[in-house]
């Protein structure tokens, strides 16, 4: 059997400014600061139109190629894309009011109440969406009086849900003494489910297969669905699949910090290649905890809070179709436990070893997709330009191997790398936001291959000092006929 292919992908963003207050960093600062933090956050939030026109967001959904950012003066938030569309080749940017409706559709346990006067606005917004205009939105109709919402918030641990500056509902806890089922955790999990479902819906609409043809779902979201006896136990893959009508699929969740999507894609490719499964979806919803993570740096620089979007991704991995780019099964680069933790050790494991195995030079790879965090988010907060650092390291390795001169590093970065364009959503920037662009460019004959390199911070869980990483290469499909 030939190597599996990535047949389709979707990349979505959801603009959730009212949830920035519930991000991990903002919520702690709001609770702990002696000066009022929330008013400062609220005055630095972007409108939906501003989020749509933001050049990196247009790259994310496929309306601009990442290289176009090199030609747009920074700060990019001051140079909006003219005639920007919320819909793109790979997905869309969804506004908050629609997403609240989608969250309610994802809610199987009445965890979320919508306030009666806000319900028509939320329902109407979602009805205007091409994917849900004929759907049963009865769940949204079951709205409640504001007095009951206030009672839940004041007396029973529920958290208010806001939209356009007013309370439009609330999120409940589901157990008084289970931290895994408190309101903030359930809100985070429900948002991951709903945004993952949005990404999967786009994937199914884009590819020419039915939902019931999918036989396995692998969720790589950054959440920890579970209860007090099994925090992070999982189940989001099937929850997302159920919402999208994947009735013939089973599924499970793959956890590996930010490198989760790459592990999930490698698992998917291996399972398809082995013949155990035929059509595997890798899906990841957004991370509420990461909203506003760098907001203090943005406030200090007087810029808008750019971490106001959730990200979602979905990929379809199948057997060879003779046209979609193949995942080379001999290209998997892994960071072994004994590899060592220096940047050079890591990049040697993830980039050089697989290239040597394939008989390729560093410069034989047309594009490297590394951690693609938008530098406009990270640099003002003192976290540096992560993609640029990674590209320089790969370029330096090429110099060490005498594939090019030291003076060629900047050109290497420009030609084989790209500016970061992804929101800091943990798993989302992990190389894979370039997959849509790569698949299309390879199909158009503009590129032959691309390598995807992601890193995971295992040490954050305090069980090991190890970090992690995984990589793979996709290349032009040779167009062979499938063997009988």
Residue 424: CB minimum distance to another protein, A: 5
Q: Which is nearer to another protein, 43 or 389 (CB)?
A: 389
User: What is the C-alpha separation between 158 and 175, in angstroms, rounded?
Assistant: 11
Q: Which is nearer to another protein, 460 or 482 (CB)?
A: 460
User: What is the C-alpha separation between 50 and 84, in angstroms, rounded?
Assistant: 10
Residue 389: CB minimum distance to another protein, A: 6
Q: Which is nearer to another protein, 237 or 431 (CB)?
A: 431
Residue 19: CB minimum distance to another protein, A: 19
Residue 390: CB minimum distance to another protein, A: 8
Residue 384: CB minimum distance to another protein, A: 7
- Give me 178's structure tokens: 């289970």
- Please identify which residue in the block is written with the tokens 């394939």: 358
Beta strand segments in 200-269, E: 216-219, 250-253
CB within 8 Å of 266: residues ≥ 6 apart: 327, 332, 470, 472
Please confirm whether the linkage preceding 301 is cis (ω < 30° from 0).
no
Q: Which is nearer to another protein, 217 or 454 (CB)?
A: 454
Q: Which is nearer to another protein, 185 or 370 (CB)?
A: 370
Helix axes 96-106, 183-206, angle to 10 degrees: 100
User: What is the C-alpha separation between 151 and 167, in angstroms, rounded?
Assistant: 13
Residue 357: CB minimum distance to another protein, A: 25
Q: What are phi and psi of 316, to 5 degrees?
A: -110, 120
Find out whether 105 and 123 touch, Cβ atoms under 8 Å: no
**Residue 22: half-sphere exposure toward Cβ, Cα within 13 Å:** 23
Residue 464: CB minimum distance to another protein, A: 10
Distances (CA, A) of 420 to 28, 170, 426: 28, 35, 14
Q: Which is nearer to another protein, 241 or 423 (CB)?
A: 423
Residue 433: CB minimum distance to another protein, A: 14
Q: Which is nearer to another protein, 12 or 259 (CB)?
A: 259
Beta strand segments in 372-448, E: none
Q: Rg of the chain over CA atoms, in angstroms?
A: 22
Q: Which is nearer to another protein, 167 or 393 (CB)?
A: 393
Binding site for another protein (CB under 8 A): 258, 340-343, 371, 373, 378, 381-384, 386, 389-390, 424, 429, 455, 457, 459-460, 465, 467
């Amino acid at each position: 059997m030939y190597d599996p292919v990535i047949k389709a992908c979707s990349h979505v963003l959801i603009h959730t400014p009212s949830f920035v207050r519930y991000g991990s960093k903002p919520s702690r600062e709001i609770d702990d600061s002696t000066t009022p933090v929330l008013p400062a956050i609220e005055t630095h939030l972007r409108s939906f139109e501003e989020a749509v026109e933001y050049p990196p967001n247009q790259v994310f959904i496929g309306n601009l190629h990442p290289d176009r950012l090199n030609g747009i003066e920074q700060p990019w938030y001051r140079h909006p894309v003219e005639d920007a569309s919320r819909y793109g080749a790979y997905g869309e940017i969804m506004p908050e009011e629609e997403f609240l409706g989608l969250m309610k559709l994802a809610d199987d346990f009445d965890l979320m109440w919508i306030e009666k006067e806000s319900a028509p606005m939320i329902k109407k917004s979602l009805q205007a969406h091409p994917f849900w205009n004929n759907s049963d939105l009865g769940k949204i109709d079951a709205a409640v009086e504001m007095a009951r919402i206030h009672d839940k918030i004041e007396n029973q641990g529920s958290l208010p849900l806001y939209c356009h500056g007013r309370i439009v509902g609330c999120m409940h806890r589901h157990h008084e003494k289970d931290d895994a089922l408190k309101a903030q955790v359930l809100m985070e999990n429900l948002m991951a489910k709903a945004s993952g479902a949005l990404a999967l819906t786009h994937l199914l609409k884009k590819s020419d297969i039915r939902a019931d043809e999918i036989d396995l779902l692998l969720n790589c979201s950054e959440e920890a669905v579970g209860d007090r006896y099994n925090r992070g136990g999982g189940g989001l893959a099937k929850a997302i699949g159920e919402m999208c009508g994947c009735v013939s699929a089973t599924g499970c969740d793959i956890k590996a910090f930010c490198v989760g999507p790459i592990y999930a894609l490698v698992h998917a490719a291996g399972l398809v290649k082995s013949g155990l499964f035929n059509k595997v979806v890798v899906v990841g919803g957004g991370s509420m905890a990461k909203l506003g993570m760098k907001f203090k740096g943005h406030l200090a620089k007087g810029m808008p809070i750019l971490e106001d979007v959730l990200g979602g991704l979905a990929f379809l991995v199948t057997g060879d179709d003779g046209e979609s780019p193949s995942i080379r099964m001999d290209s998997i680069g892994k960071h072994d436990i004994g590899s060592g933790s220096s940047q050079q050790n890591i990049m040697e494991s993830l980039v050089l070893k697989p290239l040597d195995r394939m008989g390729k030079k560093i410069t034989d790879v047309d594009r490297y997709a590394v951690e693609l965090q938008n530098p406009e988010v990270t640099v003002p907060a003192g976290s540096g330009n992560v993609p640029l650092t990674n590209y320089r390291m790969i370029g330096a390795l090429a110099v060490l191997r005498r594939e090019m001169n030291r003076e060629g590093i900047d050109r290497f970065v420009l030609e084989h790398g790209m500016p970061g364009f992804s929101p800091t959503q943990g798993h989302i920037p992990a190389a894979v936001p370039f997959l849509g662009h790569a698949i299309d460019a390879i199909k158009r004959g503009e590129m032959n291959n691309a390598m995807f390199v992601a890193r995971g911070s295992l040490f954050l869980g305090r069980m090991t000092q190890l970090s992690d990483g995984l990589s793979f290469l996709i290349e032009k499909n040779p167009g062979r006929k499938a063997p009988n």
